[in-house]
């Protein structure tokens, strides 16, 4: 048994892929740790958007919203912890350059 997904799926899918490429490029083309975190945020926004679209088109919006709320909470925790690590790293090395992470011991 199957259900047909409306053709508007491809519109949402196209913009999901565009956001995904944008976030991945932002992470790959930089050496700044904070900018990498911004790239990760864009990637998570694309995933959040696609979860809502999946719930909307599959008529399970409540389930999708529950998952998105979980994702947002985890996203905040990841950003706060990563920002703290970046701040500590900056105080130790006076730089936010990702190449300096090679100097870490342990």
Partner 1 sequence: MTLMTILLVLLVLAGLWASMTTLLLRATIALALASAMLAVVMYTLGATIAAVLELSVCAGLISVVFVSVISLTQRKPFKDYVVRRASRLTRFWPLPLVLVAAGVALSFVHSPVQVALPVPGAEGDVRVVLWNLRQLDLFGQILILLAGVIGVLVLFKRESKDDN
**Residue 20 phi, psi (nearest 5):** -65, -45
Q: CA-based Rg of the chain, rounded to a whole angstrom?
A: 18
CB of residue 60 to partner 1, shortest distance in Å:
11
CB of residue 105 to partner 1, shortest distance in Å:
15
**What residues between 39 and 68 interact with partner 1 by CB under 8 A?**
39-43, 45, 47-56, 58, 61, 64-65, 68
Does residue 18 interact with partner 1 by CB under 8 A? Answer: yes
Question: How far apart, in Å, are the Cα atoms of 18 and each of 45, 65, 72?
Answer: 11, 22, 21
Question: How far apart, in Å, are the Cα atoms of 2 and each of 8, 16, 60?
Answer: 18, 24, 15
Does residue 105 interact with partner 1 by CB under 8 A? Answer: no
Quick count: other Cβ atoms within 10 Å of Cβ 28?
Answer: 9
Number of residues near partner 1 (by CB under 8 A): 72
Comparison of 3 and 106: residue with beta carbon closer to partner 1:
3
Does residue 76 interact with partner 1 by CB under 8 A? Answer: yes
């Amino acid at each position: 048994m199957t259900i047909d997904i409306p053709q508007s799926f491809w519109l949402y899918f196209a913009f999901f892929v565009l956001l995904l490429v944008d976030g991945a490029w932002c992470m790959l083309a930089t050496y700044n740790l904070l900018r990498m975190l911004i790239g990760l945020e864009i990637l998570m926004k694309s995933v959040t958007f696609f979860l809502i679209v999946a719930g909307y088109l599959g008529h399970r919006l409540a389930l999708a919203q529950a998952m998105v709320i979980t994702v947002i909470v985890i996203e905040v925790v990841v950003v706060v912890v990563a920002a703290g690590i970046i701040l500590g790293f900056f105080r130790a090395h006076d730089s936010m350059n990702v190449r300096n992470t090679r100097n870490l011991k342990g």
